[in-house]
Amino acid sequence: MRNNLFGECLAEVLGTFVFMFIGIGTVASLVAAGTNITFWDLSICWGLAITISVFIFGVISGAHLNPSVTIALAVWKGFDKKKVVPFIISQIIGAFLAAALAYALYGSTITAFESTKNIVRASSAGWATAGIFTTFPKAGLTMANAFLVEMCITAFLVLVIFAVSDGRNEGCPKAGFPAIAIGLTVAFIGVSFGPLTGFSMNLARDFGPRLFCMLAGWGPSVLGPNSYGLIVPMFAPIIGGLIGGGIYEKLVAPYLPSAK
């Protein structure tokens, strides 16, 4: 038999890579190439990219694609805790590789944009282009406010994931619907709250590309104000995911008709 854990981890690497590659490419086309797309266009591209990844890899690993989901499933759904760390590492690797390939394709365009705007990467001004790959808070947003935003939107996302993937929830069609619902949820969150924090909701989605940026010339400045990148996008989504999963398991699931 094939090594199931290896296959699942590979699916998490590739699944995270696919949606991150499309997402980063979309942001690069907006920022560096100056394409005429709206924030809704941007958000729907991220959402549909996740839908595509779930369609391709969901049957292999469940397509967690997000440490917040993996940890919430381990706490609330009995997901094998021995797989948590390998899954998270795989997700970070996938995001890092997506950032690297997107940079290989868009690198010269990004450099030209920086030259035109007199942007120095290894400074706070570099956040303008580092933001193609990772997330930063809107100017004036406090750390506490940003933390609350990421926690709340991740809780909402995980609540939806638990609902649409629950076989007991007869209100949700199962033939392809979960992947579409999850992707649309990401898009809706992006439009409504994305301008505040970049709607990370995902430690791997943020840390993998941020690590790449540190190695690609942006340096430690890419951590953001007050080491933002090591606090808000890393811990707020995990807490939010646990809250969202808990809301579903304790306040919704027990009252499903099939649970009576």
CATH code of the domain covering residue 239 = 1.20.1080.10
Sign of the torsion angle spanned by Cα atoms 199, 107, 32, 228: positive
Task: Tell me: pLDDT of 224 over 70.
Answer: yes
Check pLDDT > 50 for residue 216. Answer: yes
Instruction: With H, G, I as helix, E, B as strand and everything else as coil, classify residue 11.
Output: helix
Encode 160-173: b = buried (16+ Cβ within 10 Å), e = exposed. Answer: bbbbbbbeebeeee
Residue 173 pLDDT level (bands cut at 50, 70, 90): confident
The pLDDT tens digits for 140-162 are: 999 999 999 999 999 999 999 99
- Name the residue among 31, 23, 66 with its Cα closest to residue 47: 23
For 227, left (φ over 0), alpha (ψ -120 to 50), or beta?
A: left
Residue 260 above 80 pLDDT?
Answer: no
> What is the C-alpha to C-alpha distance for residues 255 and 260, in angstroms, rounded to an integer?
7
Report pLDDT for 141: 96
Number of domains the chain is built from: 1
Q: Give residue-wise pLDDT tens across range 34-79.
A: 999 999 999 999 999 999 999 999 999 999 999 999 999 999 999 9
Confidence of residue 2 (pLDDT cuts 50, 70, 90): low
The DSSP result for 60-129, as a single string, is: HH----SHHHHHHHHHHS---GGGHHHHHHHHHHHHHHHHHHHHHHHHHHHHHHHHHHT--TTSGGGHHH
Q: How confident is the model at residue 174 (pLDDT cuts 50, 70, 90)?
A: confident
Residue 205 belongs to domain spanning: 4-259
Residue 175 pLDDT grade (very low, low, confident, very high; cuts 50, 70, 90): confident
Give the residue-averaged pLDDT of 86-94: 98
Question: What is the chain's mean pLDDT, rounded?
Answer: 95
Record the pTM. Answer: 0.95
Mean pLDDT of 175-186: 93
Residue 122 half-sphere exposure toward CB, CA atoms < 13 A: 6
Give yes or no for a contact between 232 and 145, defined as CB atoms under 8 angstroms apart: no
Token output for 200: 């990370």
By the 8 A CB rule, do 136 and 232 touch?
A: no
Query: What pLDDT does residue 259 have?
Result: 66
- Residue 258 pLDDT exceeds 80: no
